[in-house]
A and B are shown apart, each in its own frame.
Chain A
Amino acid sequence: MSTWRSSSFMSWGKSSLARLAPLNSTQFAAAPRRFYAVASGATRFQVFDRRVKWLQKERSASNEEESRQADYLKDEVAIRLTERLLDIKRHFPKVLDLGANSCNVAKALTRENPDPDPDTPLSPSLSDRIGELIATDSSEARLYRDASHDFNKKIAITRQVVDDEETVSFEPESFDLVLSSLSLHWINDLPGVLSQINNILKPDCPFIGAMLGGDTLFELRTSLQLAEQERRGGMSPHVSPLADVRDVGGLLQKAGFKMLTVDVDDIIVDYPDTFALMQDLQAMGESNAILNREMGPIRRDVLLANDAIYRALHGNPDGSIPATFRIIYMIGWREGENQPKPLARGSGETNLKDILEKKE
């Protein structure tokens, strides 16, 4: 929840002392000054094991058929994310897809007739307005999984494997649009990554992102907690802590974005049982990667108890079980010269109350 917000204040580390100790006095004077609140990017407050996350993504993508079948959520969110581009009537010469997974966003951009409107016959694909798309991800297997598919021919796409999504290593002011779909929820230093995104955008250019947040998988979270509590007398984290909708606006603002839009969308998927749900999460590469999780698989007794509790607590009448995915969409603009700005507080001349009361 608010863990991310606090993260940039947590970098008061031991190593600063270790670094200063061997220096003599003249060098000491030349040592860089350290501030209490260190610039983000140097945080030591880690929630997720990025290496394990990378392994999970690689492994799951190596079973191509299974991971493609579990792409329903990422494909759907990518489509909903790119639909937001319909409102921005612009040409984007250079676009970045940060944390591209298996290029679901590129696939969504090349969809035919993205704006189904009965008045206009056919709307052109969004990819027609995109000059070049650079798709980055840390997992090579996942990024190149669909490289031979047809959609690659309809868009100028360059795939780029990066060491870690937490460092955005591009030239400042080099992109006309940055997209990110279902990848930011595994980032440890969200404020840092957001300000790096702001930095690589050209002035007056948008960032559009989607991430899992808030009540995502609350059913699984609660039932696993109850099952572990009853079977073993304690619990360990199985579902990630996620950013809340309220936090995201503040984070974007802190990163320097203007004209923010944040909205939420719940996608509820029904599964036959909890095992199918967990198998699919694994195939998506979205299994647990919290740092202080209990190592090894969940015990069979807990899984048995969890299935029974999930059904009793959340189950559908028809015997299936629902799983909620709460997706937070965010749009933020890099500050530009002729950008519309909010008027100063108190400068309004029309009383809204008069207008609203006249209407009746």
Chain B
Amino acid sequence: MNPQTSTRPVQKLSKAVAKCAVEAAAYGKCIMADYNDVYKDKCAREFLRLKDCYLTAVKKA
């Protein structure tokens, strides 16, 4: 990457998220199961997996 152009945080986020498609799909599926009844931490397990994947992807980059 060109060292002169600083990467915006959102671009870093976007790149890392792209590597976690499987985890994102699992989380999305959990929400989709009944989106009329969503409450706090309903899909916490799926979300933590997505977040773990994201954090490792960010570290590697």
- List chain A positions with a Cβ less than 8 A from chain B: 226, 229-233, 272-273, 275-276, 278-279, 300-301, 303-305, 307-309, 311-313
Query: Complex formed: what's the CA distance from A305 to B41 in Å?
Result: 11
Between-chain CB contacts (< 8 Å), 28 pairs: A226-B31, A229-B39, A230-B38, A230-B39, A230-B40, A230-B41, A231-B47, A273-B14, A275-B11, A276-B14, A301-B47, A303-B13, A304-B13, A304-B17, A304-B54, A305-B27, A307-B17, A307-B24, A308-B28, A309-B31, A309-B32, A312-B25, A312-B27, A312-B28, A312-B29, A312-B31, A313-B28, A313-B31
Chain A contacts for B14, CB-based, 8 A:
272-273, 275-276
With an 8 A cutoff between CB atoms, is B42 at the interface?
yes
Q: Which residues of B contact A279 (CB under 8 A)?
A: 8, 10
**Residues of chain A within 8 A of B23, CB atoms compared:** 308
Residues of A within 8 A of B32 (CB): 309, 312-313
Whether A226 contacts B35 in the complex (CB less than 8 A), given A232-B40, A305-B47, comes out as: yes
CB neighbours of A231 from chain B (8 A): 40, 47
Contact with A along B5-46 (1 / 0, CB 8 A): 000101101100110000111011101100100111111000
Hey, which chain B residues are within 8 Å of A229, CB to CB?
38-40
Known: A311-B25, A312-B28. 16 other contacts (CB 8 A): A230-B43, A232-B40, A233-B39, A233-B40, A233-B41, A273-B17, A275-B10, A275-B17, A279-B8, A304-B47, A305-B47, A308-B23, A308-B25, A309-B32, A312-B25, A312-B31
Report A-chain residues with C-beta under 8 Å of the C-beta of B39.
229-230, 233
Tell me if B's interface is mostly helix, strand, loop or mixed.
Answer: helix
Closest Cβ of chain A to B37, distance in Å, is 10
Would A230 and B13 count as touching, CB distance under 8 A?
A: no
Measured in the bound complex, the distance between the Cα atoms of B19 and A273 in whole Å is 12
**A343 vs B60: C-alpha distance in the bound complex, in angstroms?**
73
Q: A-B pairs with CB below 8 Å: how many?
A: 72
A303 to B54, CA, bound (A): 12
Q: Which residues from chain B contact A305 at a C-beta distance below 8 Å? A: 27, 47, 50
User: A226 to B28, alpha carbons, bound, how many Å?
Assistant: 10
Contacts of A309 in B (CB 8 A): 27-28, 31-32
Complex partner residue of B18 from A230, A232, A273, A278, CB under 8 angstroms: A273
Inside 8 A of A230's CB, which chain B residues have their CB? 31, 38-43, 47
CB-CB < 8 A to A311: which residues of B? 24-25, 28
Distance, CA A279 to CA B51, complexed state (A): 22
Quick one: given A276-B14, A278-B10, A313-B32, are A308 and B40 in contact (CB under 8 Å)?
no
Identify which of A226, A232, A276, A304 contacts B50 (C-beta below 8 A): A304
Indicate whether A308 sits within 8 Å of B38 (C-beta atoms), given known contacts A275-B11, A275-B13, A276-B14.
Answer: no
Q: B41: which A residues are within 8 A, CB to CB?
A: 230, 233
**Cross-interface CB contact of B38 among A226, A273, A276, A301, cutoff 8 Å:** A226
Which partner residue on chain A sits nearest B46 by CB separation?
Answer: A308
Instruction: Tell me the smallest distance from the CB of A307 to a CB of chain B, in Å.
Output: 6
Residues of A close to B28: CB separation below 8 A = 308-309, 311-313
CB contacts (< 8 Å) of B31 on chain A: these are: 226, 230, 308-309, 312-313
**Which chain A residues lie closer than 8 Å to B13 at the CB level?**
275, 300, 303-304
Interface core residue of A230, A272, A311 (most chain B CB under 10 Å): A230
Distance of B49 from chain A, by nearest CB (Å): 11
Bound state CA distance, A311 and B26, in angstroms?
11
Query: Which A residue's beta carbon lies closest to that of B32?
Result: A312
Q: Write out the residue numbers on chain B whose beta carbons fall within 8 Å of the beta carbon of A226.
A: 31, 35, 38
Are A308's CB and B50's CB within 8 A?
yes
A273 to B39, CA, bound (A): 25
CA distance A326 to B43 in the complex (A): 32
Distance between A305 CB and nearest chain B CB, rounded to angstroms: 6
A169 to chain B, nearest CB (A): 39
